[in-house]
Amino acid sequence: MLSIIIPAHDEAPVIGATLDAVAVATRALGARVDVIVVDDASTDATAAIARARGARVVQVDVRHIAAARNAGAAAARGDRMLFVDADTLVNRQAIEAAMQSLDAGAVGGGTAVRFMRPLPLYIRLLESASIVLFRMFGVTPGCFIFCTRAAFEAAGGFDERLFVAEDVAFGRALATQGRVAILRAAVTTSARKMHTYSMGEKVRFTLRFLASPKRVSRTRDALHFWYGPRRHAPAGQPPETKPDA
């Protein structure tokens, strides 16, 4: 069985599409799919939308992506696990490639990631470069990480000392257990942070993180980019960039 674990905080505008994509992508697996939404302290209809689409909902109140993922893994029934972000659209090709990699002996892995369009040119260039670099260095992007349950447990799960970059740390821990596969199949994830945070905000966060990555990654207070109030694009409208404060 494959357990698909989706951590979510205030994701009502996007969780429905994410679950619909999961349902289509895993149709061939039938009853061998276990879909779990980990509702982490949401104040909107995230949990209700997830239940309406047949997902199991695990409630936590931690506001911590690593801990939410681990809570979903603890509730999972499958011997294989796939962690998907709440704003990511998976597809049949990526699911099948992940399962084939595990069948071939990989302990886990990730996939190529593309952002939803429209995108400015500089983001499209960064996207292309990141796909090449992630494959080169075996980086497992958090929006799509798969593994066996045995490898997850042996690797110690996601490091709850980290509030960000826990996906990269988990990929490195997986690599100590066996072969990690970075798939050529791509999933599509939201570019809302690119659109709803201004260039000034993004530059300030990047500089702060580069100045002290270890300290910044271990405190939620310094990670407004991830743990601040959700910024969703207006429904049916192109995403808009917020002006600098």
| Residue pLDDT, tens place only, 77-122 | 999 999 999 999 999 999 999 999 999 999 999 999 888 877 777 7
Task: Taking the CA atoms of 167, 172, 178 and 180 in sequence, report the sign of the dihedral they define.
Answer: positive
Give the amino acid at 153: E
Torsion angle, CA of 195/168/26/61, rounded to 10 degrees?
Answer: -70
| Model pTM score | 0.84
pLDDT at residue 243, rounded to an integer: 30
Task: Taking the CA atoms of 23, 82, 138 and 193 in sequence, report the sign of the dihedral they define.
Answer: positive
Among the ranges given (67-71, 129-133, 237-241), the one the predictor scored with the smallest mean pLDDT: 237-241
The structural domains of the chain, with segments of one domain joined by +, span 2-191
Higher model confidence: residue 153 or residue 133?
153
Class of domain 2-191: alpha beta
Look up residue 176 and give its DSSP letter: T
| Residue pLDDT, tens place only, 29-49 | 988 999 999 999 999 999 999
Q: Classify 94 as helix, strand or coil.
A: helix
Q: Classify 12 as helix, strand or coil.
A: helix
* CA atoms of 86 and 243, how far apart (whole Å): 26
* Helix 166-175 / helix 65-75 crossing angle, nearest 10 deg: 50
What tokens were used for 80? 């294989």
Q: Classify 181 as helix, strand or coil.
A: strand
Give the amino acid at 111: T
What tokens were used for 106? 């990989």
pLDDT at residue 127, rounded to an integer: 73
* CA atoms of 233 and 199, how far apart (whole Å): 16
Nearest alpha carbon to residue 237 among 49, 20, 13: 13
Higher model confidence: residue 127 or residue 233?
127
| Residue pLDDT, tens place only, 168-206 | 999 999 999 999 999 999 999 887 766 666 667 767 777
Where does residue 158 rank: exposed (0-12), middle (13-18), buried (19+ CB within 10 A)? buried
pLDDT at residue 93, rounded to an integer: 96
